[in-house]
């Protein structure tokens, strides 16, 4: 009965934890790393084809984005998530695949022009994404689910994203039962649309995120409407556009919620009919999924609007941009406007085109409404820079760079402490993950020294025996020496296929000699073809 830490150990993205119990190999999340990676991650402890189950906390790509790669390398198991997470993954994983294929195509075109650049293949393709999606098993909140003999789980609303959850996992092996709770990303309280995070009563061990473990949000609920109104009014009066880099899922819908209220109350003077463009096919689809899941996921304030027949995230002047031609046309419209576009950290997608058209204009505003990872274009702009490169060309930063204070889907330090203090008994140990290096250390120390909770911030590769309650292996940090290339490891896929073949061979031990001989002939024939 083991817990091995793989991803998001002393880092903010790439969440992945491995459980081995009851003869099963289980992943909790399998996310993509984003921004600058400081530390190396250990590979999965077993071949992808041996993974039996994935328990998914929520749909954000830093928790789900590598699931298509899992499928590409032979995974044939089941992925368990909430219903809303399953709905969102049906579009987000396809979007991940689309981005991978686009980037590979662009790099391959570049390779043709240079002998120094090798052709690129995507990490995974649309077929892999579709395979991962079909393996998702939608589950309700707050219901104990039997996965297999000795393994049970329950999803609890954690208030971070539509469908987000903490996951309670019960493992029973040789008359020993251990309960492990994976917090997922803990949501901020009093946020639009979503319920506040639910508390969990008991656990032996807790794997807990610490994204904002070193900072506090404002003690008072921020006046999002007032602050956004002021930014819109000032920018429109200058004749400029407000460009909002926004995550297509979650933050975009929150911004629509605020803007609907601003328009309804006629808070903008002289520009009351300002258009709002949502320029992201993914965001458009996600907005529909939000509406579909409102009964199970929306908070009381949003549901009050729904009960009156009001869509909380729709209003006059809302324009949904789907095609590339529609996207291009936005910047040829002279009317002051709001442009909401992905990605939220400005790393890819249509937002980079809008930045190219608006960053150099002093009358415009670029408004950041979410966390910006170190090394991303968003983080560079927020920290202040005079010039950036977009599509190989320098662009001066003359637009006003603003942030909407307090708007965060993550709980701050106090919110994290409130959640862990909600356990009726202190867990045996809390493993602190999903935070920057120093934040993981400081938050673990805070739990130990100030709250009397045994806490430890493991590095990737650390192995903990859940039955004995002891560390079997304490990994040390391994720092990245050079920036990893985001290219497909095609040879790695081939190796994974070979591992799967060996697994199939072992499973057929004891079979009829006639069948085994036929199997051997088929393998030898394949080898003869490629040898």
Chain centre distance of CA 458: 21
Angle between helices 281-292 and 83-112 (to 10 degrees): 170
Q: What is the mean pLDDT of the chain?
A: 92
- Asked if residue 317 has pLDDT above 50, the reply is yes
Q: What is the 3-state secondary structure (H, E, C) of 180-197?
A: EEECCCCCCCCCCCECCC
Q: What's the whole-number mean pLDDT along residues 289-309?
A: 93
Q: How many residues does the chain have?
A: 531
Question: What pLDDT does residue 485 have?
Answer: 45
224-403 — its CATH code? 3.40.50.10890
Q: Which helix (H) or strand (E) holds 207?
A: strand 205-209
Question: What pLDDT does residue 487 have?
Answer: 41
- Asked if residue 1 has pLDDT above 80, the reply is yes
Question: What pLDDT does residue 492 have?
Answer: 65
Confidence of residue 509 (pLDDT cuts 50, 70, 90): confident
Angstrom distance (rounded) from CA 62 to CA 52: 21
- Asked if residue 108 has pLDDT above 80, the reply is no
Residue 326 has phi, psi (to 5 degrees) of: -65, -40
Among 175-189, 320-334, 465-479, whose mean pLDDT is lowest?
320-334
Distances (CA, A) of 281 to 252, 254, 340: 12, 17, 11
Residue bearing tokens 């686009």: 102
Angstrom distance (rounded) from CA 262 to CA 264: 6
Note the pTM of the prediction, 2 decimals.
0.85
Torsion of CA 360, 365, 368, 374, to 10 degrees: 30
Helices (H), 265-412: 281-292, 294-297, 300-307, 324-330, 351-358, 377-383
Q: What's the whole-number mean pLDDT along residues 358-371?
A: 94
Q: pLDDT digits over 423-440, tens only?
A: 999 999 999 999 999 999
Q: pLDDT digits over 51-67, tens only?
A: 999 999 999 999 999 99
Helices (H), 113-270: 126-134, 224-237, 251-264
Angstrom distance (rounded) from CA 254 to CA 249: 9
- Asked if residue 165 has pLDDT above 80, the reply is yes
Q: What's the whole-number mean pLDDT along residues 245-260?
A: 93
Residue-by-residue DSSP string for 412-442: -HHHHHHHHHTSSS--SEEEEESS-HHHHHH
Q: pLDDT digits over 179-233, tens only?
A: 999 999 999 998 889 999 999 999 999 999 999 999 998 777 778 899 999 999 9
Question: What pLDDT does residue 454 have?
Answer: 98
Residue 437's closest CA among 40, 38, 62?
38
* Domains of the chain by residue range: 2-216+409-473, 224-403, 490-530
Q: Which residues, including other chains, have CB under 8 Å from residue 261's CB and lie 6 or more apart?
A: 225
Read off the tokens for 51: 């993974």
Question: What pLDDT does residue 107 have?
Answer: 73
Highest mean pLDDT: which range of 91-95, 133-137, 331-335, 514-518: 133-137
CATH second-level architecture of 2-216+409-473?
4-Layer Sandwich (3.60)
Q: Which helix (H) or strand (E) holds 107?
A: helix 83-112
Angstrom distance (rounded) from CA 252 to CA 437: 29
Question: What pLDDT does residue 488 have?
Answer: 46
């Amino acid at each position: 009965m083991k817990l091995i830490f793989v991803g998001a150990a002393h880092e903010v993205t790439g969440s992945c934890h491995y459980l081995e119990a009851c003869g099963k190999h289980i992943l909790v999340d399998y996310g993509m790393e984003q921004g600058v990676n400081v530390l190396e991650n250990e590979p999965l402890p077993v071949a992808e084809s041996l993974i039996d189950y994935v328990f998914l906390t929520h749909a954000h790509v830093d928790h789900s984005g590598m699931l298509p790669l899992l499928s590409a390398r032979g995974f044939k198991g089941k992925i368990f998530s909430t219903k809303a997470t399953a709905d969102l993954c049906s579009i987000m994983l396809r979007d991940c695949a689309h981005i991978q294929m686009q980037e590979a195509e662009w790099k391959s075109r570049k390779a043709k022009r240079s002998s120094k650049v090798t052709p690129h293949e995507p990490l995974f393709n649309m077929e892999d994404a579709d395979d991962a999606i079909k393996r998702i098993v939608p589950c309700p909140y707050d219901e104990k689910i039997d996965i297999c003999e000795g393994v049970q789980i329950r999803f609890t609303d954690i208030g971070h994203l539509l469908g987000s959850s903490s996951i309670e996992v019960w493992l029973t092996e040789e008359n020993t039962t251990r309960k492990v709770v994976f917090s997922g990303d803990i949501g901020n309280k009093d946020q639009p649309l979503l319920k506040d995070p639910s508390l969990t009563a008991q656990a032996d061990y807790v794997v807990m995120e610490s994204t904002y473990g070193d900072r506090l949000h404002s003690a008072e609920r921020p006046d999002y409407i007032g602050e956004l109104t002021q930014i819109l009014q000032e920018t429109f009066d200058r004749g400029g556009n407000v460009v909002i880099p926004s995550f297509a899922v979650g933050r975009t819908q929150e911004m629509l919620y605020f803007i609907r209220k601003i328009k309804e109350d006629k808070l903008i003077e002289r520009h009351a009919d300002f258009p709002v463009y949502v320029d992201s096919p993914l965001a458009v689809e996600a907005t529909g999924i939000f509406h579909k899941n409102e009964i199970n996921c929306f908070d009381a304030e949003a549901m009050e609007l729904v009960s009156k027949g009001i869509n909380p995230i729709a209003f006059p002047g809302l324009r949904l941009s789907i095609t590339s031609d529609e996207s291009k046309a936005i910047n040829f419209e002279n009317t002051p406007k709001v442009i909401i576009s992905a990605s939220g950290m400005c790393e890819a997608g249509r937002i980079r085109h809008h930045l190219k058209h608006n960053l150099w204009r002093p009358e415009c505003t670029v408004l950041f409404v979410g966390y910006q990872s170190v090394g991303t274009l968003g983080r560079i702009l927020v920290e202040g820079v005079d010039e950036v490169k977009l599509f190989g060309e320098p662009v001066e930063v003359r637009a006003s760079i603003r942030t909407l204070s307090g708007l965060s889907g993550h709980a701050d330090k106090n919110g994290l402490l409130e959640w862990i203090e909600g356990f009726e008994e202190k867990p045996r140990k809390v493993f602190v993950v999903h935070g920057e290096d120093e934040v993981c250390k400081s938050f673990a120390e805070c739990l130990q020294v100030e709250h009397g909770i045994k806490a430890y911030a493991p590095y990737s590769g650390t192995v903990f025996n859940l039955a004995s309650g002891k560390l079997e292996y304490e990994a040390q940090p391994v720092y990245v020496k050079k920036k990893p290339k985001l290219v497909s490891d095609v040879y790695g896929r081939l190796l994974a296929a070979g591992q799967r073949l060996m697994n199939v061979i072992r499973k057929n031990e004891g079979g009829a000699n006639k069948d085994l001989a036929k199997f051997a002939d088929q393998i030898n024939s394949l080898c003869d073809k490629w040898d």
